[in-house]
């Protein structure tokens, strides 16, 4: 909304500057044309030269403001459609890419802030589709997406990479804070149930993440987080594995799960 107001204010300011230029040109032309007709005629002509542009500018300015506001609202709607996953309502790949680029750029010059990127993958999703049907599978994806979106801040980013895989970008101060958030997300999703009665299933997700303090390419961040996701799957699913990436590329694995305390393993 502030962006809309600033844009409309600037456009209206430019329009009024144009009106002022046209008015001055009209006054100069009127003076040059009517000065030989006497003072009364010249004064009347100058008043018309001033009054008509200024009076007509008011309705044009109102129309311009309303029309621009409507167009910007429509444009925002189109942009949301273009950057939102149709099924789950979270960001699609394009929308998430824009948001995480801003998050990574925000690390420049920062010494106390970092960024945590999580890949969240639904456990046994094919089994849910095969046993309960694709509509229930879609319901599972929607519930997972809604829980992720509801459990993070407005400045964070939640996207769907495809299939049953989601990605979350969370600016945070340290890996411990990030791991606490990842565990909270895992536990919240583990409380979800889809289907009814005997045809129901409890949901769980495996999470792999990467924490960084210095800007890295998203391809590298994704590769590290994806490797940690694979480790979470191998270790039994329904758990988190987070890696802290150092500027030189070295880091530490910090596995966290619902069943075991945090362990620290050097990654070389």
pLDDT of residue 252: 42
Q: E strands, the chain, where?
A: 114-122, 157-162, 165-172, 193-196, 199-202, 205-212, 239-245, 251-257, 265-267
- The CATH class, in words, for 93-267 is alpha beta
pLDDT at 256: 41
- In which band, very low, low, confident or very high, does the pLDDT at 254 lie, cut at 50, 70 and 90? very low
pTM for the model: 0.69
Q: Find residue 114's DSSP bridge partners.
A: 172
pLDDT confidence band for 180 (50 / 70 / 90): very high
Average pLDDT of 86-99? 93
Q: What DSSP assignment string belongs to 52-108?
A: HHHHHHHHHHHHHHHHHHHHHHHHHHHHHHHHB-TTT-SB-HHHHHHHHHHHHHTTT
Task: Enumerate the domain spans of the chain.
Answer: 2-83, 93-267
Is residue 93 a contact partner of residue 161, using CB atoms and an 8 Å limit?
yes
Mean of pLDDT over the chain: 83
Token representation of residue 16: 């009024």
Q: Among residues of the chain, what percentage have pLDDT more than 90? A: 51
Go through the chain and tell me how many residues it has. 268
pLDDT at site 231? 96
Q: Give the span between the Cα atoms of 38 and 211, in whole angstroms.
A: 81
Q: Kindly list the catalytic residues.
A: 164
Nearest to 232 by CA among 221, 242, 246, 218: 242
State how far the Cα of 209 lies from the Cα of 196, in Å rounded to an integer. Answer: 32
- Rounded CA separation 110/117 (Å): 17
C-alpha to C-alpha distance for 165 and 155, rounded to whole angstroms: 21
- Per-residue pLDDT at 42 exceeds 90: no
């Amino acid at each position: 909304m502030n962006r809309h107001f600033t844009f409309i204010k600037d456009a209206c300011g430019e329009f009024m500057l144009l009106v002022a230029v046209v008015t001055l040109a009209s006054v100069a032309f009127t003076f040059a044309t009517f000065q030989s007709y006497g003072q009364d005629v010249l004064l009347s002509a100058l008043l018309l030269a001033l009054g008509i542009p200024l009076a007509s500018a008011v309705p044009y300015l109102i129309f311009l403001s309303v029309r621009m506001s409507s167009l910007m609202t429509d444009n925002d709607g189109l942009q949301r459609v273009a950057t939102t996953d149709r099924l789950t309502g979270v960001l699609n790949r394009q929308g998430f890419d824009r948001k995480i680029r801003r998050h990574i750029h925000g690390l420049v010059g920062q010494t106390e802030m970092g960024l945590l990127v999580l890949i969240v993958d639904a456990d046994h999703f094919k089994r849910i589709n095969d046993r309960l049907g694709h509509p229930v599978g879609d319901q599972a994806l929607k519930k997972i997406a809604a829980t992720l979106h509801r459990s993070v801040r407005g400045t964070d980013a939640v996207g769907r990479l495809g299939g049953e895989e989601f990605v979350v970008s969370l600016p945070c101060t340290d890996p411990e804070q990030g791991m606490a958030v990842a565990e909270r997300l895992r536990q919240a999703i583990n409380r979800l149930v889809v289907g009814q009665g005997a045809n129901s299933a409890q949901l769980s997700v495996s999470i792999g993440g990467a924490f960084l303090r210095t800007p890295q390419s998203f391809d590298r961040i994704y590769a590290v987080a994806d490797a940690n996701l694979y480790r979470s799957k191998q270790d039994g699913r329904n758990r988190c594995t987070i890696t802290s990436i150092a500027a030189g590329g070295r880091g530490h694995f910090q596995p966290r799960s619902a069943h075991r305390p945090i362990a620290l393993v050097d990654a070389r």
